Amino acid sequence: MNYQNTDLSALAERLLAARKSAGITQDTAAAHLDMSRPTFIAIEKAIRRPRPEELVKLAALYKTSVSTLLRQATQPPKLLPHLRTAFSGEAQDQDELEIAINKLTSFVDDYLFLENKLDAKPVTNFPPRIRAPVAPIERFAEHCAQEERSRLNLGAHLPIYTLREVLEDVGVHVFFDALPSKLAGLYVFVPDFGYCVLINRLHPKERRRWTMAHEYGHFLMDRDKPGVDYLRPMQRKPENERFADAFAAAFLMPDAGVQRRFYEEVERKSDFNVGDLCGMADHYAVSLMAMTLRLESLGLVGRGTWDGIKESGVAARDLKREAGVQDAPDADSVDTFPDRYKLLAVQAWASEKISTGTLARLLRCSLVEAREIAYRCAEVQIDENGISERFSVNLTESLLAAR
């Protein structure tokens, strides 16, 4: 293929998406190319093919690469209009939100590029979508969380320390990146690709885990409806948000497990105090607030317990320190990209389908770091779907059969 034979419509679509993502007007872009606005519009309408030097200039102006603009096999995902409709904040937050949406769009675009490059099948074995019954939504969310834990073999008692890994295994594409502090996460379903979640990496571990579980609740209930989650509480939450919150609580802090631990503590000490609360929050890797509210909702501590703690003015981290709870490192990866994405990128590089420069661009890192990641992953085998097989020994292989 050569440039003159590339699909002009695909190029125009990418140019348009890149300009919008960069927040540049048609007037500015036209002036940058020293051409009239109608001539520039002809480029974006696929009427006129940009000259090579114009393409190079536009890539620089849009802060992207010529090679990205020339991608032909996949189209840039259009997440912005969908997620914009979910925006309910103040106008000043709109710009920050658009930056976050553009990040997620770029991640998904690169993921699609890799899947296409390796002919890897997208993950589509999603759990069935849940229909909300005419019943209290919080009770229903509790039931759904129990069912989901059972389906995923997570048991009814234990914390889920590797939450990101669990969600990625069921086909949710979880990305992490630095977002404005008010923004907890975004979620959107992309046809022919899957459900994507972008989590604010700058938030504390407990908050990130809550957001992930919350977005998974949305995935189960209203995956076709994109959304933006903010830290600020809403006055009155709609039903789908109440479901996602209740689901997150029950998924991360299962009723049976919480009750068992609670009664064990009570039996041991004939009491359950704030220090025990701190220990339990640490055990489930959730915030003190989330743990307290969960115990309140299960009727294990009195209503208003959290309000009392909050009104004391003592910071949760100080309480935890006083209780001797030390911050454990996050069991989950906080890498920008899901493992599958990284493995696909390394596989594409190892099979010489992409250059080292492209690998670095896809992994958003320097060339040295890209090669380091590639060599680190080199022993990992990847099957046709891009799923890693970390061991050459099958863990389900019987050790008794050979006797």
- Residues forming contacts to another protein in the complex (CB under 8 A) are 1-3, 6, 51-53, 55-56, 59, 65-67, 70, 352-358, 360-361, 366-369, 371-372, 375
The CA-atom distances, in angstroms, between 263 and each of 254, 266, 269, 299 are: 14, 5, 10, 12
Query: How, if at all, do strands 194-200 and 381-382 pair?
Result: unpaired
Least distance (Å) between residue 54 CB and another protein: 9
Per-residue tokens: 71: 């991608």
Least distance (Å) between residue 378 CB and another protein: 9
Count of all residues that appear for the chain in the document: 403
Left, alpha or beta for 332 (phi > 0: left; psi -120 to 50: alpha)? beta
Least distance (Å) between residue 352 CB and another protein: 4
**Any alpha helices (H) in 298-388, and if so which ranges?**
305-311, 316-322, 339-350, 356-363, 367-377
Element (H, E) at 194: strand 194-200
Taking the least distance from each CB to another protein, the nearer of 375 and 391 is: 375
Taking the least distance from each CB to another protein, the nearer of 4 and 235 is: 4
Taking the least distance from each CB to another protein, the nearer of 1 and 400 is: 1
Least distance (Å) between residue 192 CB and another protein: 24
Least distance (Å) between residue 277 CB and another protein: 42
Per-residue tokens: 70: 């020339």
Taking the least distance from each CB to another protein, the nearer of 224 and 372 is: 372
Least distance (Å) between residue 75 CB and another protein: 17
Nearest Cα neighbor of 307 from 317, 291, 292, 285 is 292
Least distance (Å) between residue 46 CB and another protein: 17
3 state SS of 53: helix
| Contacts for 255 with CB less than 8 Å, ≥ 6 apart | 142, 146, 156, 298
- What gap in Å lies between CA 299 and CA 216, rounded to an integer? 25
Taking the least distance from each CB to another protein, the nearer of 322 and 372 is: 372
- φ and ψ at residue 109, rounded to 5 degrees: -60, -45
Taking the least distance from each CB to another protein, the nearer of 55 and 316 is: 55
Taking the least distance from each CB to another protein, the nearer of 266 and 367 is: 367
